[in-house]
């Protein structure tokens, strides 16, 4: 079975000397293909290979080279600790391949028999990705289902144990990027700007492979600073809430984005004050979207549709969502569609457990779907659905209420065991010049009284991961 062509613009689109610019270094498609061809020749025939996924042209060449050769790529976070790094390499069976962007080679599958992005790149011919023996919950035992090799193996953050390798096929990537291109009216006329890590879906799949599929120029700023975003002159910007929060705090940088076409936020809920701040300073209401490593992006607001703070839009074409049974309309978000992963590497039991008996993927996120189909994500089932005094309370709603107070810069809300209530609401905030009582009373004036925090702790900063998501498991006990 022939593979789905993925990097269509890279092969067929018009070239330009600065088609890609990563941390100040530019290259054309021709130069990228030459460097990627050299990588493809080196890795051809391997089961998988790993790459140090810094914000460099070398990272882009490595991923493209893996796609050309049909060899799964395992991106490594440059700041991964020794234990995490050892686990990923051991679990995937991959070795790190160093990349020299100055090295050039043509890579023709006809010449050496390797699979490429253009010919049978998704078929394994019986080979496996590293130690993979997992598959979809539908019983497919080979990685990718039906014997296909994954394009990427991305490791999850491991909040409930060691990181798991998520196997993502080129078919899933192509389906997702095409759906997003339609939703965001993303074309080759755009210049995409972002400074996100290249070892996650947001920065790598959307932010690099998306540009190479659509044909838009890509400017990766190295670090996602407000000044770098303001200077890039893009039409389409990707950022996480932390980035957009910093942009809003830098009014000059924010106003410089007024000439953009679309600002997109994802990877974590965008606080309502940041949404409104962007709208006021840039003239653009940001587009929010929702996804996971295992599902890619499944829900998004549209470029030509309504955008509401606290909502992440409607399901993308081909995606069907539902809320698990709940009397109050809030429950676990479950979904089906062509963007889903092909299993956890070497973990068939974990793969099976991530699906319902009738084949829907369990996101583990708590959500509500409004009558118009718009989705609101309340939080993670494990940490963000608080059951207090018989009420079900979404942590995100309380966090947004706290962030509406002018003295509060950051907020994270969790449920803590309580003998009478079952759980009590505990708020961790980064704030100046305000007391716990004032914040509790402030929330009670904006939300139902039972949603007010019972305890408030003040921190210098919230623990966050590389994508800017608060890590609630690392919050200190109070």
Q: How many domains does the chain have?
A: 3
Q: If we measure between CA atoms, which residue out of 382, 175, 128 comes closest to residue 295?
A: 175
355, part of any domain: no
Same domain, 450 and 304: no
The helix or strand, by DSSP H or E, that contains position 272, with its residue range, turns out to be helix 272-282
94, part of any domain: yes
Q: Is the dihedral of CA 135, 382, 80, 210 positive or negative?
A: positive
Which pLDDT score, from 0 to 100, does residue 357 have?
A: 94
Same domain, 140 and 19: yes
Whole-number Å distance between alpha carbons of 31 and 235: 24
* Secondary-structure percent of the chain, ordered helix, strand, coil, rounded to 5: 30, 25, 45
470, part of any domain: yes
272, part of any domain: yes
Last residue of a domain, one of 158, 178, 198: 178
Would you state the structure tokens that stand for residue 317, as one six-digit string?
A: 């074409």
- The residues pairing with 287 across neighbouring beta strands, listed in sequence order, are 264
- Beta strands 20-22 and 236-239: pairing type? unpaired
Cα distances (Å, whole numbers) of residue 378 to 155, 442, 461: 24, 20, 22
356, part of any domain: no
Same domain, 116 and 77: yes
Cα first-last separation, the chain: 57
Same domain, 173 and 318: no
Last residue of a domain, one of 112, 144, 178: 178
Instruction: Specify the CATH number for the domain of residue 204.
Output: 3.40.50.12780
Which pLDDT score, from 0 to 100, does residue 366 have?
A: 87
The angle that helices 436-446 and 395-403 make with each other, rounded to 10 degrees, is 110
Cα distances (Å, whole numbers) of residue 434 to 190, 402, 458: 44, 12, 10
- Asked whether the beta carbons of 340 and 404 are under 8 A apart, the reply is no
Last residue of a domain, one of 130, 155, 178: 178
Q: Which residues of the chain have pLDDT under 50?
A: 1-2, 110-116, 118-146, 159
86, part of any domain: yes
Which pLDDT score, from 0 to 100, does residue 113 have?
A: 36
Which pLDDT score, from 0 to 100, does residue 155 have?
A: 93
Same domain, 250 and 321: yes
Which pLDDT score, from 0 to 100, does residue 158 have?
A: 52
Same domain, 300 and 225: yes
CA triple 267-333-296, angle to 5 deg: 40
- The residues pairing with 464 across neighbouring beta strands, listed in sequence order, are 470
Scored b (16 or more CB within 10 A) or e, 5-43 reads bbbbbbeebeeeeebbbbeeebbebebbbbbbbbbbbbb
Number of H helices, E strands in the chain: 14, 23
Which pLDDT score, from 0 to 100, does residue 373 have?
A: 92
- Asked whether the beta carbons of 238 and 262 are under 8 A apart, the reply is no
Which pLDDT score, from 0 to 100, does residue 425 have?
A: 93
453, part of any domain: yes
What residue numbers bound the domain in which 152 lies?
Answer: 8-178
Q: What residue ranges in 266-325 does DSSP mark as E strands?
A: 287-292, 296-300, 314-315, 320-323
Same domain, 195 and 148: no
Same domain, 67 and 80: yes
Taking the CB of residue 364, how many other CB atoms lie within 10 A of it? 15
Which pLDDT score, from 0 to 100, does residue 382 have?
A: 65
Same domain, 209 and 333: yes
Which pLDDT score, from 0 to 100, does residue 213 have?
A: 96
Which ranges in 8-143 belong to alpha helices (H)? 8-12, 29-43, 57-69, 82-92, 109-112
Same domain, 102 and 145: yes
* Lookup result for tokens 């002018």: 406
Instruction: Specify the CATH number for the domain of residue 398.
Output: 3.30.300.30
Same domain, 94 and 231: no
Which pLDDT score, from 0 to 100, does residue 161 have?
A: 61
Which pLDDT score, from 0 to 100, does residue 388 have?
A: 82
Whole-number Å distance between alpha carbons of 125 and 193: 38
238, part of any domain: yes
Same domain, 214 and 171: no
Which pLDDT score, from 0 to 100, does residue 106 have?
A: 86
- Asked whether the beta carbons of 119 and 109 are under 8 A apart, the reply is yes
């Amino acid at each position: 079975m022939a593979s789905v062509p993925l990097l269509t613009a890279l092969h067929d689109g018009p070239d330009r000397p600065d088609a890609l610019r990563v941390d100040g270094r530019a290259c054309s498609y021709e130069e990228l293909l030459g460097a990627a061809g050299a990588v493809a020749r080196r890795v051809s025939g391997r089961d998988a290979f790993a790459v140090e996924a810094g914000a460099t042209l070398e990272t882009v060449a490595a991923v493209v080279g893996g796609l050309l050769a049909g060899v799964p790529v395992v991106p490594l976070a440059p700041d991964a600790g020794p234990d995490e790094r050892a686990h990923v390499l051991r679990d995937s069976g991959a070795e790190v391949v160093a990349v020299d962007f100055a090295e050039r080679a043509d890579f023709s599958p006809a010449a050496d028999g390797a699979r490429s992005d253009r010919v049978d790149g998704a078929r394994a011919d019986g080979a496996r990705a590293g130690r993979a023996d997992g598959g979809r919950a539908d019983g497919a035992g080979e990685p990718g289902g039906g014997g296909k090799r994954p394009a990427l193996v991305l490791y999850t953050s491991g909040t409930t144990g060691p990181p798991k390798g998520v196997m993502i096929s080129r078919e899933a990537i192509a389906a997702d990027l095409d759906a997003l291109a339609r939703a965001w009216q993303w074309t080759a006329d755009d210049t995409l700007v972002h400074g996100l890590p290249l070892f996650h879906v947001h920065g790598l799949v959307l932010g690099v492979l998306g540009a190479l599929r659509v044909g838009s120029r890509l400017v990766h700023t190295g670090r996602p600073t407000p000044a770098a975003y303001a200077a890039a002159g893009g039409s389409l910007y990707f950022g996480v809430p932390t980035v957009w929060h910093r942009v809003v705090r830098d009014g000059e940088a924010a106003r410089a984005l007024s000439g953009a076409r679309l600002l997109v936020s994802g990877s974590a809920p965008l606080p309502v004050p940041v949404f409104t701040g962007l709208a006021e300073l840039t003239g653009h209401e940001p587009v929010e979207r929702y996804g996971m490593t295992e599902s890619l992006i499944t829900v998004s607001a549209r470029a030509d549709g309504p955008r509401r703070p606290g909502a992440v839009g409607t399901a993308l074409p081909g995606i069907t969502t539902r809320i698990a049974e709940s009397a109050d309309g809030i429950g676990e978000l479950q979904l089906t569609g062509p963007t889903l992963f092909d299993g956890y590497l070497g973990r068939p039991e974990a793969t099976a457990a991530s699906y319902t008996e009738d084949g829907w993927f369990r996101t583990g996120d708590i959500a509500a779907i409004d009558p118009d189909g718009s989705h609101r994500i309340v939080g993670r089932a494990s940490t963000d659905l608080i059951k207090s005094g018989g009420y079900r309370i979404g942590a995100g709603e309380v966090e947004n209420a706290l962030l509406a107070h002018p003295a509060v810069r950051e907020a994270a809300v969790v449920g803590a065991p309580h003998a009478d209530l079952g759980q009590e609401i505990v708020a961790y905030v980064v704030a100046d010049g305000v007391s716990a009582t004032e914040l509790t009373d402030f929330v009670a004036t904006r939300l139902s009284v039972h949603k007010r925090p019972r305890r408030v702790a003040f921190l210098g900063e919230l623990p966050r991961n590389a994508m800017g998501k608060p890590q609630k498991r690392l919050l200190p006990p109070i």
